Amino acid sequence: MIELKDIKINRDLIRDIALGIENLLMHKLRSFLTMLGVVFGVGSVVAMLSVGEGASKDALEQIKKVGSNNIIITSMKSVEEENTSNTSSSFMSVYGLKYADHERIAATFSTVKTAVPVKITNKTGTLGGRTMDLRVVGTTPAWFDLVKRDVIAGRVLLEEDSVNMARSLVLTEYGARKLLATKGTIGQNISIGGNNFTVVGIVKSSDDTSSSGGVQLPDKEDDAYIPIEVSKFYFGDITIKQSSGSSERKNVELEQIIVEVDDMENVEATAEGVEAMLAKFHDKVDYTMSVPLALLKQAESTKRTFNIVLGSIACISLLVGGIGIMNIMLASVTERTREIGIRRAIGAKKKQIIAQFLIETVVLSTIGGVVGLCLGVFIPLLITLFAGMETVITAFSIVLPLFISVGIGIIFGLYPAARAAEVDPIIALRHE
């Protein structure tokens, strides 16, 4: 049940708020200039947090696309191999992952759910008068479970394709548009390296063809997927790359092995075990390993640090705004000494004087906070529009600075309010 005293208290509060707003409106320019510190402080906090959030979002998404439970092992030239190939034009580079590495990883670790071998050959695809440079990816059907892409038409590779040595081909949407054009899609025969392959399916193209967040995405928009056994039979392990009038010969069995671990908690331990095993069977460091989970944790940690630094810098503006409010309110106390004396003489208590001045500072900081929020939301939109940088405005970046601005009004208003309450009524009445 609502009591009369509660209604009286609410009325007193409403009256004090109205009185505070009235006092602020009597000095519009001064109140506006006082609020500017809070406006720019809140606006900068929101803008900086949204820029920081946007900067890390893309990297985090790219890492998650690879799979938090996956380990990516990629062949690379060792330092010794690189030096030798640079000094001899007839030298054949032999390096990288082996078929035996894939078999050992799949058989040795109980925590490994799937190990997918990847063999990559660069070939030209031809259909009628259309040609396109393709990255022919020889792999197993499990690839499409680990690198999830929507199937636009037809199907992906099946176990039967490998068993029957079928020349089945899965194109990306990008490749299909370049080669198939307006012709029918499924069932078309495309010549790759002098051999005809039948298109059995089309998958969505990779969203990004470059490395992001420290990890290379396994797929690219110019991919063409065939069974790995078919790739070994028709294209072999030796490839010749022509560039600037010279040729580079290399013998690489597998360009990549993607390992899926059964549980996220086992990823880092499994990665250490796989690395130790590869080091035992490889005389040279001719592979590199990336663990998306570790990169994800690192990126999230960097994001938190980045937000804390940006938020701290922006909060300095709020602090300056709070000091500005305190200075103006101290001047207001001196200016309104006679008014305070009259209020005390007719029975106003100290807590009522404190409440009056606190309400004014809170009103100033709250209005400044709301205007600052509008400014903080508008700035990221301009950054996205003109700079092309993605920005993300979160609930946290909205609520935090608003609470801080209200808190600043209370904290920096306490001292002026206490000074006003301590004014001696008799001395105040004599004040001119």
According to the model, what pLDDT value does residue 394 have?
A: 85
Q: Is the pLDDT of residue 236 over 60?
A: yes
Q: Please give the structure tokens belonging to residue 66.
A: 């690879």
Q: Is the pLDDT of residue 307 over 80?
A: no
Please tell me the distance from the alpha carbon of residue 24 to that of residue 361, in angstroms, as a whole number: 9
Q: Is the pLDDT of residue 329 over 90?
A: no
CB distance 193 to 204 below 8 Å: no
pLDDT digits (tens, 9 = 90+) for 149-193: 889 989 999 999 999 999 999 999 998 888 876 556 788 899 998
Please tell me the distance from the alpha carbon of residue 162 to that of residue 191, in angstroms, as a whole number: 19
pLDDT digits (tens, 9 = 90+) for 267-278: 889 999 999 999
Average confidence (pLDDT) over 12-41: 80
Q: Is the pLDDT of residue 88 over 70?
A: no
Please tell me the distance from the alpha carbon of residue 248 to that of residue 263, in angstroms, as a whole number: 41
- Split at pLDDT 50, 70, 90, the class of 7 is very low
Triad 49, 50, 54: Cα angle to 5°:
120
C-beta neighbour count of 300 within 10 angstroms: 14
- Split at pLDDT 50, 70, 90, the class of 1 is very low
Q: Is the pLDDT of residue 312 over 50?
A: yes
According to the model, what pLDDT value does residue 4 have?
A: 46
Triad 154, 222, 130: Cα angle to 5°:
85
According to the model, what pLDDT value does residue 129 have?
A: 81
Higher pLDDT, 375 or 1: 375
Q: Is the pLDDT of residue 112 over 90?
A: yes
Please tell me the distance from the alpha carbon of residue 211 to that of residue 298, in angstroms, as a whole number: 16
Q: Which of 116-120, 200-204, 292-296 has the lowest mean pLDDT?
A: 292-296
According to the model, what pLDDT value does residue 291 have?
A: 86
According to the model, what pLDDT value does residue 209 have?
A: 46
Kindly report the average pLDDT of the chain as a whole number.
82
Q: Is the pLDDT of residue 378 over 80?
A: yes
Q: Is the pLDDT of residue 349 over 60?
A: yes
pLDDT digits (tens, 9 = 90+) for 23-37: 778 878 888 888 888
Please tell me the distance from the alpha carbon of residue 41 to that of residue 317, in angstroms, as a whole number: 4
Gyration radius from the chain CA atoms:
34
Tokens 């690198």: give the residue.
147
Share of the chain above pLDDT 70, in %: 85
- Split at pLDDT 50, 70, 90, the class of 2 is very low
The beta strand positions in 219-327, using DSSP E, are 223-227, 238-243, 246-251, 256-261, 287-290
Please tell me the distance from the alpha carbon of residue 206 to that of residue 315, in angstroms, as a whole number: 40
Share of the chain above pLDDT 90, in %: 28
Average confidence (pLDDT) over 254-260: 93
